[in-house]
A and B are shown apart, each in its own frame.
Chain A
Amino acid sequence: MKADMPATNRSRPSMSAMLRDAAAAAFVAALLAFPLLGFKLNATAQGLHLDMRLSWVPIAAGIVFAGRLLLTLGGQYVAPIIARRVAPDVDAIRRRLPSRSAYMVGIAMAAVAIALPWLPFADRNLIDKATLILIYVMLGWGLNIVVGLAGLLDLGYVAFYAVGAYSYALLSQHFGLSFWICLPLAGLLAGAFGVALGFPVLRLRGDYLAIVTLGFGEIVREVIINWDKVTGGPNGLSGIERPSFFGLPMLPTSMAPPGSTTFADFFGIAFSPNQRIWFLYYLILALALATNLFTQRIRRLPLGRAWEALREDEIACRSLGINPTLVKLSAFAIGASFAGFAGSFFATRQGFISPESFTFIESAIILAIVVLGGMGSQIGIVLAALLLVGLPEWFRELEQFRMLAFGAAMVLIMLWRPQGLLSHREPTLRLSDVPRKLVSESAT
Chain B
Amino acid sequence: MSAASPLLTVEHLTIRFGGLVAIDDLSFSARSREITALIGPNGAGKTTVFNCITGFYSPEVGRIALRREDGREFFLERMDGFRIARDAGVVRTFQNIRLFPGMSVAENLMVAQHVALMRASFFSVAGFLRLKSYLDAERQAVERARYWLDKTGLLADADKLAGSLPYGAQRRLEIARAMCANPALLCLDEPAAGLNPRESNALNALLTDIRDEHGIGILLIEHDMSVVMQISDRVVVLEQGRSIAQGTPVEVRANPEVIRAYLGVEDEAAVASVIGQGSAH
Contact = CB atoms under 8 A, between A and B. Distances in A.
Contact of B82 (A312, A322, A427, A443): A322
Contacts of B114: 302, 305-306, 309, 320-322
B54 interface: yes
Given A306-B114, A437-B139, A323 B98 contact: no
A312 B143 contact: no
Interface string A137-149: 0000000000000
Contacts of B61: none
B102 A425 contact: yes
Contacts, number: 146
Interface string A42-78: 0000000000000000000000000000000000000
Contact of B107 (A428, A432, A434): A428
Interface string A286-326: 00000000000110011101101101110111111111100
B52 interface: no
Contact of B98 (A95, A303, A316): A316
Contacts of A440: 143, 147
Nearest to A376: B102
Nearest to A323: B82
B124 A429 contact: no
B148 to A, nearest CB: 7
A315 B99 CA distance: 10
A303 B126 CA distance: 12
B98 A430 contact: no
B interface majority secondary structure: helix
Interface string A419-430: 000000101111
Nearest to A301: B127
B98 A302 contact: no
B225 interface: no
Contacts of A427: 103-104, 106-107, 159
Contacts of B54: 319
Interface residues of B, number: 56
A97 interface: yes
A319 B128 contact: no
Question: Which of A298, A301, A322, A436 gathers most chain B CB within 10 Å?
Answer: A301
Nearest to B148: A443
Given A305-B111, A319-B54, A322-B115, A431 B142 contact: yes
B158 interface: yes
Question: Which of A95, A316, A320 gathers most chain B CB within 10 Å?
Answer: A320
B66 to A, nearest CB: 14
Nearest to A305: B111
Question: Which of A97, A305, A321 gathers most chain B CB within 10 Å?
Answer: A321
Given A301-B124, A430-B106, 15 more contacts: A97-B160, A298-B128, A306-B114, A306-B118, A309-B103, A312-B101, A318-B55, A318-B82, A319-B92, A321-B85, A321-B91, A429-B104, A429-B107, A436-B143, A437-B139
Interface of A: 94-97, 297-298, 301-303, 305-306, 308-309, 311-313, 315-324, 425, 427-432, 434, 436-437, 440-441, 443-444
Interface of B: 54-56, 81-83, 85-87, 91-92, 94, 98-104, 106-107, 110-115, 117-118, 121, 123-124, 127-128, 139-140, 142-149, 155, 158-161, 163-164, 177-178, 181, 213-214
17 contacts: A301-B127, A303-B124, A305-B111, A306-B111, A308-B103, A308-B107, A308-B111, A309-B103, A312-B102, A320-B111, A320-B181, A321-B87, A322-B82, A427-B106, A431-B142, A437-B143, A443-B143
